[in-house]
Amino acid sequence: MSKDAILTAIRRGLRRGPLPADQQAMLGGRLATHPRHLIPARSRVARPEQVALFIRNVEKEFGTVRRVADAAEMPAAIGEYLAAQNLPQRIAMAPHPELQGLDWDSRPMLQVEARRGDPQDSVSLQHGFAGIAETGTLMLPSSPHRPTTLNLLPDTEMVFLRASRIVGAYEEAWDLLRAENQDARTGGFMPRNVMFVTGPSRSADIEQTLELGAHGPRRLHILLLDDDPAALPAP
């Protein structure tokens, strides 16, 4: 069998047989504790600066951010963005309890459908699991409440994100997922799909020159709910 052939060839190269039990246990320990390596200092700052760094990095990568003080204002913030961009008042929304719990009645002109993404969608609203300040990256794990297609098919993706969910480094985002997610199938924490998204889709394949809007969304707009008093900018 090829599996045995490959493993045998590797062991021959390493001049040893299968690893003895104690060494396997040691490597098993490394997997279980998954030690961190060097983490860049840039994200090791106080909360307000961390959030500011996140926003700066999103904008550097051609995304946009709007800070919203209160969840009650969220539907209005969405409606205003759509109007300003000349987009239809119609969104495909992740069927996430937190999004479904927003006061959509306050914005009767806005049509909201909780479902997966479809090819003809022009705008989606995704629920953000975490934001990573280090590079302005969103962590979007799949679940029945967070369909992956919403990140891919619409022309414009909006993401709802709580400021309290902004962390410094990728490692901290993994820790959130490890702590909060439990997968029925594997007994582990890893969902089927985890996307790290940094800005809208782009390509530099034509003469190495950057153009936005390749196959994924052309616009990425983050609605940042300021739910963390410690993360607010100094007055």
Chain positions 30 to 49 lying near another protein, rule: CB under 8 A, are: 30-31, 34-38, 40-42
The set of residues, in sequence order, having a beta carbon less than 8 Å from that of 7 and lying 6+ positions away, is: 18
The answer to whether 217 contacts another protein (rule: CB under 8 A) is: yes
> Hey, is 213 helix, strand or coil?
coil
* Closer CB to another protein, 41 or 109, in the complex: 41
Taking the complex as a whole, how short is the minimal distance between the CB of residue 98 and another protein, in angstroms?
17
The answer to whether 2 contacts another protein (rule: CB under 8 A) is: yes
The answer to whether 196 contacts another protein (rule: CB under 8 A) is: yes
Is residue 139 a contact partner of residue 165, using CB atoms and an 8 Å limit? Answer: no
Chain positions 135 to 194 lying near another protein, rule: CB under 8 A, are: 135, 137, 142-144, 147-149, 151-153, 169-171, 174, 183-188, 190-194
Binds another protein (CB under 8 A): choice among 102, 128, 199, 221: 199
* Cα angle: 65, vertex 144, 135; to 5 degrees: 30
* Closer CB to another protein, 105 or 207, in the complex: 207
What are the tokens at 110? 């806005």
Round to whole Å and give the CA distance between 33 and 30: 5
Q: CA of 145: how far to CAs of 98, 140, 179, in Å? A: 10, 11, 18
* Closer CB to another protein, 80 or 196, in the complex: 196
Region from 12-20, 43-51, 99-107, 160-168 binding another protein, contact rule CB under 8 A? 12-20
- CA 118, 122, 128, 132 dihedral sign is positive
The answer to whether 101 contacts another protein (rule: CB under 8 A) is: no
* Closer CB to another protein, 144 or 229, in the complex: 144
- CA 196, 202, 205, 210 dihedral sign is negative
Chain positions 58 to 97 lying near another protein, rule: CB under 8 A, are: 61, 95
